[in-house]
Amino acid sequence: MTKDELRVELERQEQRYKEVYGGEVTTYAAQPEPERKPWRKRASLLDQAFAQELQKIEKDLHSEEP
């Protein structure tokens, strides 16, 4: 079903609803799609501890070089 066919069908159903039930039809604008933010992995405690150990090792290596 194409968009045009769908529009015609919805208009036909709207007219039928108004004629048969005597009701009103309220149309709403489509809601915009929410922006997708890139997923980021949070560092776990193990990741943080590993990073700290790496920093300690690098610091020790730089202090021993002179």
The pTM assigned to this predicted structure is 0.38
What HEC string does 26-63 produce?
CCCCCCCCCCCCCCCCCCCHHHHHHHHHHHHHHHHHHH
Tens digits of residue pLDDT in 15-53 = 888 888 887 777 788 888 878 877 788 889 999 999 999
Contact status, residue 24 vs residue 17, Cβ threshold 8 Å:
no
Q: Does the pLDDT value for residue 61 go beyond 90?
A: no
pLDDT at 56: 94
Sign of the dihedral defined by the CA atoms of residues 12, 13, 19, 25, in that order: negative
pLDDT at 48: 92
CB proximity list for 25: less than 8 A, separation 6 or greater: 14, 17, 18
The whole-angstrom distance between residue 47's C-alpha and the CA centroid of its chain comes to 27
